[in-house]
Amino acid sequence: MSQSKMHSEPAVYVYEAPVRIWHWINALAITVLCVTGYFIGVPLPTMPGEANDHFLMGYIRFAHFASGYILAVGFLFRLYWVFAGNHHARQLFLPPFFTREFWKGVLHELRWYAFIEKEPHKYVGHNPLAVMAMHIVMVWGLLFMIITGFALYGEGIGMGSWQYEWFSGWVIELFGQSQDVHTWHRLCTWLVICFVIMHVYLAIREDIVSRQSMISTMISGWRMFRDDSKAKDDADHGGSIMTTFVGSLMSSFRSGRSRTKADDIR
Residue 37: inside a domain: yes
Asked if 82 and 16 touch (Cβ cutoff 8 Å), the reply is no
**Domain span holding position 95:** 5-46+54-260
**Helices 142-157 and 178-209, interaxial angle, to 10°?**
150
Asked if 10 and 223 touch (Cβ cutoff 8 Å), the reply is no
Which is it for strands 222-224 and 5-7: parallel, antiparallel or unpaired?
unpaired
How far, in Å, CA of 151 to CA of 258, rounded? 43
**Mean local confidence (pLDDT), 202-211:** 89
Residue 68: inside a domain: yes
The domain total for the chain is: 1
User: Is a pLDDT exceeding 80 seen at residue 69?
Assistant: yes
Residue 265: inside a domain: no
What proportion of the chain, given as a percentage, has pLDDT over 70?
Answer: 81
pLDDT of residue 45: 83
- What's the N-to-C CA distance of the chain in angstroms? 46
Residue at 208: amino acid letter: I
pLDDT of residue 261: 54
**Mean local confidence (pLDDT), 51-62:** 85
pLDDT of residue 239: 47
Average pLDDT of the chain, as a whole number: 86
- 2 pLDDT band, cuts 50/70/90, is very low
Residue 227 DSSP code: S
Overall size of the chain counted in residues? 266
- 92 pLDDT band, cuts 50/70/90, is very high
pLDDT of residue 241: 47
User: Is a pLDDT exceeding 50 seen at residue 6?
Assistant: no
Residue 208: inside a domain: yes
Q: Output the domain CATH number for residue 223.
A: 1.20.950.20
User: Is a pLDDT exceeding 80 seen at residue 41?
Assistant: yes
User: Cβ contacts of residue 1 below 8 Å, gap of 6+?
Assistant: none
Count the alpha carbons within 13 Å of 97 in the hemisphere toward its beta carbon.
7
How much of the chain is in helix, strand and coil states, percent to nearest 5?
A: 70, 5, 25
Sign, CA torsion 15/67/191/84: negative
Residue 217: inside a domain: yes
pLDDT, tens digit, 9 for 90 and up, residues 213-239:
899 999 999 998 876 666 666 544 444
Residue 266: inside a domain: no
- Which pTM was predicted? 0.82
Asked if 212 and 224 touch (Cβ cutoff 8 Å), the reply is yes
Instruction: For 41-109, give the DSSP string.
Output: HSPPPP-SS-GGG--HHHHHHHHHHHHHHHHHHHHHHHHHHHHHS-GGGGTTTS--TT-HHHHHHHHHH
CB atoms inside a 10 Å sphere around CB 4: 19
